[in-house]
Amino acid sequence: MSDRDEPAPEHQRPDGVSDETVQALGKLSEALEAVEVARGALYQFHRLSGTADLTAGEAVDLFREAGHTAIADRIERELVGRNVLPGRWTFQVVEAYDDDYYATFRRLEQAARDELVQGRRHLFEAEMKEDRRTHGRPHHEARPR
């Protein structure tokens, strides 16, 4: 078997690691992936909320130009620059998420891998690849050249 037809060492299970451990780490990795997607959605929320605020400010200017100063004043006073949550703009929401939940999740996932499998990532997926691929066939290699 050539080097390309077996997984790289960092994608091989260390000796003595059980199927249950690999499965548990795979499930924790899956959960972290969901957190990463949620974090991306939070950053999207941050960007869209900021765009909405800036665009509302442009609408205020246009209402003023059109002679609708009372509407412009009300929107500017009650909406433009408003907190999205009590005391917070979206950047503060993102920072709180990153510094607390996200950082804790990443730290604990890394610690579990460090303690149980020498820090190796994606062992569950690497073993799934080995099970599903057709050994010896083009485009089914274990790893890149």
pTM recorded for the entire structure: 0.86
Confidence grade of residue 5 (pLDDT, cut at 50, 70, 90)? confident
User: Under a CB-based contact definition with an 8 Å cutoff, are residues 95 and 4 in contact?
Assistant: no
Confidence grade of residue 3 (pLDDT, cut at 50, 70, 90)? low
Map 18-67 to HEC letters.
Answer: CHHHHHHHHHHHHHHHHHHHHHHHHHHHHHHHHHHHHHHHHHHHHHHHCC
Whether pLDDT at 125 is above 90? yes
Whether pLDDT at 52 is above 60? yes
* Domain range annotation of the chain: 18-132
Please give the Cα distance from 24 to 57 (Å, whole number): 49
Closest CA to 80 of 41, 114, 53: 53
pLDDT tens digits, one per residue of 55-82: 999 999 999 999 999 999 999 999 999 9
Q: Give the pair of three-digit tokens for residue 112.
A: 């579990």
For residue 54, count CB atoms less than 10 angstroms from its CB and return exposed for 0-12, middle for 13-18, buried for 19 or more: exposed
**pLDDT of amino acid 145:** 83
Please give the Cα distance from 95 to 89 (Å, whole number): 10
User: Under a CB-based contact definition with an 8 Å cutoff, are residues 135 and 5 in contact?
Assistant: yes
Q: What average pLDDT does the chain have?
A: 96
